[in-house]
Chains A and B, each alone.
Chain A
Amino acid sequence: MLRHWYLGVLCAWLVLACIAPWCMESGNHITLENAFAPPSTGAWLGTDDLGRSILLRTIAGAAVSAPLAAGVVLASLCVGTFLGALGAWRGGLPDACLQRVIELFQAFPGLLLAIALAGILGPGTGNVALALCLVGWVGFARLARAQVASLRSREHVLVARALGTPDRRILSRHILPLLVAPLLVEATFAFAATLAAEAGMSFLGLGAQPPTAAWGSMLREATQFLLVAPHMLIGPGLAILSLVMAMQSAGERLRLHWQLPR
């Protein structure tokens, strides 16, 4: 059972994300006389500098960070797969251009590019999501391009072409289904990386603005009070760590299941 711990973690976060909207208001409730209370039976993870419950804020944060990461991955997946598959299928000049653009984006450290972009666009969750999408589509495009390039000379595709099947139908019926497994594995890892990147950018003050409870910005507040209230780290820290680890393990398990190369 311990082998599949990540399923338990993912299910738990799914449930918590569903009840998160109800925690938002109470998580923002300020009671200054309770500030910096350490973990106790009343407040399991203690309270922050404004006396707000860290447990409630951590749960509320699930409704900010996880949907944002999921949305970014979904958008990157769609755009990247579309461009990569189309490039490999058509070949020629557009494909060569796409390849140069992919190489160019990969010449950057991804996180730095996203941070700088979000810094230019200005703080806010929307801009963070946009910056992460601009960096994120590259991985999917590269993967889809490589897969389609090798699939297009497979026998079943050649037969379909010989029979005069239209391109759109070949791509959607004979190629796309074979892309699902590698893309899903990539998406799982990308979700973990995006979640960490979003939290990192919120930590730098670029993401969700106060009083919204996002895990990254909660950690930012926690580091300002490390000397008086180190317990403020526990909630958001464990939330990010558990979700990232669970997603990475799930991706690894899927990769082994489908026997895909790294």
Chain B
Amino acid sequence: MGVLQLAARLSAMLITLFGVSLLVFLMMQAIPGDPVDAMLGEQASGADRTALRAALGLDASLPEQLRRYYGGLFVGDWGVSLQTQEPILGTLAARAPGTLLLAGSALVFAVLFALPLGIWSALRPGKSPDHFAGLFALVGGAVPGFILGPVLIVVFAVWLGWAPVGGADGRGSVVLPALTLAIGMAAILSRQLRAALLEVLAEPFMRAARARGLGFGAALWRHGLRNAAIPVLTVLGMQLGALLGGAVITETVFAWPGLGTLTVEAIERRDYPLLQGCVLVISAAYVIVNRLTDVLTAWCDPRIDWSR
């Protein structure tokens, strides 16, 4: 991997980030009618309207608004929340660790589920372990967080009392929301791992490794899983990105204080500047995670042509 190619990839990412921020800006122009009406209600006084219009910069022309928007983005002035009057960047920074903790835990759970399940079903294709894994993938891949989450709450929090119902105060409060996010991810990962492993297990180099006297377990670990890891890694990155979007609903189910609940709060309170910040941060994280996975995969797999 050359430095030049890495730089090219990163600059492509910057262009994407620019496009994403532009789309978010344009999205805010789609507020039907007058956004000031939408935020203050119809009964607001004329002075209030003028003040809010000036505070939001809506009195300026569109190019001027765009210039201020990007000027603010770069110097870290993302505006203030209409509801709390606090700086948006600070509010986002306060909530981001919650989402990061949740996504990180979900990732760990998903890999812990998917690894044994994928290996198990690839070693016994068409047998009962494979059928079980297939059923898990079918149900786990289809069940949305707003169904799985409440079911987990009823079983593990209400009936068994093993975990708190919601919030982030109690010990182990991250487990249930992380599990909710992890199941769907594990379903896809385990299928991907199964397919990749089946392909690798049929490769001549696996037979060669066995012929050299390597035990089955060692051959699987050193040659099988390493080669199967590459396509799985790609999917993992895509899933981690999707997880950031899916967290909006799961965080709401568990009242988890993260960027997802902040997004929903911003929508409910018609706090459009805050909503803009939320969408911007989550989307940027999505772009960066996907691009990093790209780089990581290419770094792991020397066959991938970097110049393309």
Contacts and interface: CB of A to CB of B under 8 A. Distances in A.
Interface string B134-167: 0000110111111100110110001000000100
Contacts of B28: 120
A206 B267 CA distance: 9
Contacts of B165: 226-227
Given A112-B263, A204-B264, A245-B138, A196 B283 contact: no
B245 A248 contact: no
A240 B151 CA distance: 14
Interface in A102-126: 103-105, 107-113, 115-117, 119-122
A233 B147 contact: yes
Interface of A: 100, 103-105, 107-113, 115-117, 119-122, 192, 196, 199-200, 203-206, 216, 219-220, 222-223, 226-227, 230, 233, 237, 240-241, 244-245, 248-249
A100 B15 CA distance: 11
B273 interface: no
Interface stretch (B63-71, B78-86, B247-255): B247-255
B60 interface: no
B5 interface: no
B19 A112 contact: no
A219 B147 contact: yes
Given A203-B249, A226-B154, A116 B147 contact: no
B100 interface: no
B246 interface: yes
B255 to A, nearest CB: 10
B144 A196 contact: yes
A248 B139 CA distance: 10
Contact of B272 (A109, A110, A120, A245): A120
A244 B248 contact: no
A248 B158 contact: no
A148 B197 CA distance: 33
Contacts of A249: 138
Contacts, number: 130
22 contacts: A103-B19, A108-B23, A109-B246, A109-B283, A109-B286, A111-B249, A112-B286, A113-B279, A116-B275, A119-B266, A119-B267, A120-B27, A120-B28, A122-B38, A204-B249, A205-B268, A227-B165, A230-B154, A240-B147, A244-B142, A244-B143, A248-B142
B11 interface: no
A116 B144 contact: no
Nearest to A237: B147
A44 to B, nearest CB: 19
Contacts of A220: 146
Contact of B20 (A108, A111, A226, A233): A108
> What is the interface residue range for chain B against chain A?
35 or more
Interface string B230-261: 00000000000110111011001100000000
Nearest to B192: A262
A177 B252 CA distance: 44
A104 B16 contact: yes
A112 B287 contact: no
B286 A241 contact: no
A104 B23 CA distance: 8
Nearest to B147: A237
B172 interface: no
Contact of B150 (A108, A200, A222, A244): A222
Contacts of B143: 241, 244
Interface in B10-42: 16, 19-20, 23, 27-28, 30-32, 38
Contact of B16 (A107, A117, A199, A203): A107
Contact of B275 (A104, A119, A230): A119
B19 A107 contact: yes
A220 B146 CA distance: 8
Contacts of B88: none
A115 B248 contact: yes
Contacts of B141: 248
Interface centre among A108, A219, A240, A241 (most CB of B within 10 A): A108
